[in-house]
């Protein structure tokens, strides 16, 4: 076995980070734990700042590269994601209605406060995002669709350069620091007893949810494998680094770089992967939907509330829409769903607090299901597109798609000045590549 190759594997580093975080919590002094808590606070704030930029940088040129079919494929991908979310919600409803009344018979849940952090940070630096996540997503759609409808030129190349810059930052900064971030998360999770207490209070529901997450992923990849001609087991195995990264970060958006890389390893084209993965990180929350519904159903049973079948069905449909707007950050889904819990199910503040506590305690598993399912959707879209996403037959589009932003940036001097000769050479290279 090549130890150097094994140690460089992201999957290996993530597993080591998880195990180390749990083990080190047993003997780390408080001051050392606070060092990692401080790092996690800073890194988490940076991710909050970086996520809208990442979405804008990846989705805009991806949609622009689709050509005139941008609107169509955007609608198709969104419809598939929404259908997956609805399937998850209704499957969870059937399972919960069939099993939870017996599993939770005689069980009453007390009010539980939202779990906090056992490790305080030494200091914190606010890093406000340039725009909200949904604003970045909508702006990406508008600009991407707009660029796809007009002759391509300097502006689109600018977005390709922007994507190249963000990709380099992901490769050189985000990915190398992710294992350390995951280590700190599991270190803190083991330090605090509140999260585990919440999990024990709803352990029967937790078991049901975990089984449902596996079933949901299994169905997604069986369908994707059938449509895309892929081996479902092999496709799921390829996505495991993304699953484990999401398990540690509890953030769909923060896992985008890993999800993107593993999706491409499943044979999905670069154009489709760059389009579907960032999009689905925001709009596809099948795992979160299942988890929210299961815990809501459990609270209704244990708190003596009465909810009709019609109300549950309406809640699932609205929850699917709400999940589309939920930010892909830790706890984003449950915070977006609080309005539905109070308005449609009649939850009071204490019951909503219990939902938040339970959800956060299990947040990582739902997120892991979300991002792994994104890979299945990408396989389906890649098959349905049949090469339409990317070079759509327009010679100008082919020329633009051949433009390598990273190669171009390598030709730029430190001062950012490009000589006329370099510009001419870049134009000739792009033209010859497109012609070839």
Residue pair 132/332 in contact by the 8 Å Cβ criterion: no
Residue pair 91/204 in contact by the 8 Å Cβ criterion: no
Q: What is the pLDDT of residue 413?
A: 41
Q: How confident is the model at residue 209 (pLDDT cuts 50, 70, 90)?
A: confident
Residue pair 92/294 in contact by the 8 Å Cβ criterion: yes
Strand (E) or helix (H) holding 265: helix 256-265
Structure tokens at 432: 């010859």
Write down the residue that tokens 């996403």 correspond to: 389
Q: What is the pLDDT of residue 215?
A: 92
The reply to whether 258 falls in a domain is: yes
Shared-domain flag, residues 379 and 408: no
Shared-domain flag, residues 346 and 203: yes
The reply to whether 227 falls in a domain is: yes
Residue pair 89/212 in contact by the 8 Å Cβ criterion: no
Q: What is the pLDDT of residue 86?
A: 92
What DSSP string describes 383-413?
HHHTT-SS--S-HHHHHHHT--HHHHHHTS-
* Residue 419 or 297, more confident: 297
Burial group, residue 86, by CB count within 10 angstroms (0-12, 13-18, 19+): middle
Give the distance between the most distant pair of CA atoms in the chain: 80
Nearest CA to 435 among 427, 96, 40?
427
Shared-domain flag, residues 390 and 406: no
- pLDDT tens by residue, 304-329: 778 888 989 988 988 887 776 565 55
Shared-domain flag, residues 390 and 407: no
The reply to whether 277 falls in a domain is: yes
* Residue 404 or 362, more confident: 362
**Number of separate domains in the chain:** 2
Q: What is the pLDDT of residue 201?
A: 54
The reply to whether 310 falls in a domain is: yes
Structure tokens at 322: 């709400």
Shared-domain flag, residues 64 and 26: yes
Shared-domain flag, residues 268 and 301: yes
Distance (Å, rounded) from C-alpha 20 to C-alpha 115? 22
Range of the domain at 321: 21-396
Q: pTM for this one?
A: 0.62
pLDDT above 60 for 63: yes
Please compute Rg for the chain using Cα positions: 23
Look at the alpha carbons of 349, 350, 355, 357 in this order and tell me if their dihedral is positive or negative. positive
Shared-domain flag, residues 367 and 427: no
Mean pLDDT of the chain: 75
Distance (Å, rounded) from C-alpha 172 to C-alpha 276? 23
Q: What is the pLDDT of residue 407?
A: 56
The reply to whether 103 falls in a domain is: yes
Shared-domain flag, residues 412 and 324: no
**Candidate from 9-23, 184-198, 247-261, 336-350 with smallest mean pLDDT:** 184-198
Residue pair 14/248 in contact by the 8 Å Cβ criterion: yes
The reply to whether 34 falls in a domain is: yes
Q: Whats the size of the chain, residue-wise? A: 436
- pLDDT tens by residue, 336-345: 677 778 778 8
Distance (Å, rounded) from C-alpha 422 to C-alpha 420? 5
**Candidate from 33-37, 79-83, 169-173 with smallest mean pLDDT:** 169-173
* Residue 333 or 410, more confident: 333
Shared-domain flag, residues 280 and 423: no
The reply to whether 3 falls in a domain is: no
CATH of the domain at 272: 1.10.3860.10
pLDDT above 50 for 195: no
Shared-domain flag, residues 387 and 406: no
The helix/strand/coil state of 288 is helix
Q: What is the pLDDT of residue 399?
A: 40
CB atoms within 10 A of CB 56: 24
Residue pair 235/225 in contact by the 8 Å Cβ criterion: yes
* Residue 178 or 391, more confident: 178
Shared-domain flag, residues 65 and 204: yes
């Amino acid at each position: 076995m090549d130890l150097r190759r094994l140690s460089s594997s992201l999957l290996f580093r993530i597993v080591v980070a998880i195990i180390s975080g749990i083990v080190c919590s047993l003997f780390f002094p408080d001051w050392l734990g606070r060092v990692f808590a401080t790092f996690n606070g800073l890194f988490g704030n940076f991710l909050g700042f970086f996520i809208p930029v990442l979405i804008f940088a990846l989705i805009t040129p991806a949609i622009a590269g689709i050509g005139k079919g941008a609107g169509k494929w955007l609608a198709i991908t969104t419809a598939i994601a929404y259908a997956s979310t609805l399937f998850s919600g209704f499957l969870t409803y059937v399972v919960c209605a069939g099993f939870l009344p017996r599993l939770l018979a005689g069980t009453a849940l007390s009010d539980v406060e939202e779990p906090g952090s056992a490790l305080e940070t030494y200091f914190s630096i606010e890093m406000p995002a340039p725009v909200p996540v949904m604003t970045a997503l909508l702006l990406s759609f508008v600009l991407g669709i707009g660029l796809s409808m007009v002759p391509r030129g300097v502006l689109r190349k600018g977005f390709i350069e922007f994507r190249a810059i963000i990709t380099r930052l992901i490769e050189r900064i985000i990915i190398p620091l992710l294992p350390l971030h995951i280590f700190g998360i599991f270190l803190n999770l083991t330090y605090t007893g509140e999260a585990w207490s919440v999990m024990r209070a709803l352990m029967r529901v937790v078991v049901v949810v975990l089984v449902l997450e596996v079933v949901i992923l299994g169905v997604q990849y069986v369908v994707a494998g059938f449509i895309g001609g892929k081996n479902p087991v092999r496709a799921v195995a390829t996505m495991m680094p993304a699953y484990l990264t999401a398990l540690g970060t509890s953030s769909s958006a923060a896992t985008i770089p890993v999800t993107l890389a593993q999706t491409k390893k499943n044979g999905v084209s670069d154009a489709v992967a760059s389009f579907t993965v960032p999009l689905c990180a925001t709009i596809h929350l099948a795992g979160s939907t299942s988890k929210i519904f299961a815990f809501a159903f459990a609270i209704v049973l244990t708190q003596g509330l009465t909810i009709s079948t019609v109300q549950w069905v309406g809640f699932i449909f609205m929850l699917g829409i709400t999940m589309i707007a939920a930010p892909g950050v830790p706890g984003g889904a449950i915070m977006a769903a609080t309005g539905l819990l109070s308005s449609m199910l009649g939850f009071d503040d204490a019951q909503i607090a219990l939902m938040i506590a339970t959800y956060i305690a299990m947040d990582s598993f739902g997120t892991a299901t979300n991002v792994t399912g994104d890979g299945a959707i990408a396989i389906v879209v890649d098959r349905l597109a049949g090469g339409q996403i990317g070079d759509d037959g327009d010679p100008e589009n082919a020329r633009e798609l051949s433009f390598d932003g990273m190669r171009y940036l390598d030709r730029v001097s430190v001062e950012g000045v490009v000589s006329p000769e370099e510009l001419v050479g870049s134009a000739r290279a792009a033209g010859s590549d497109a012609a070839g």
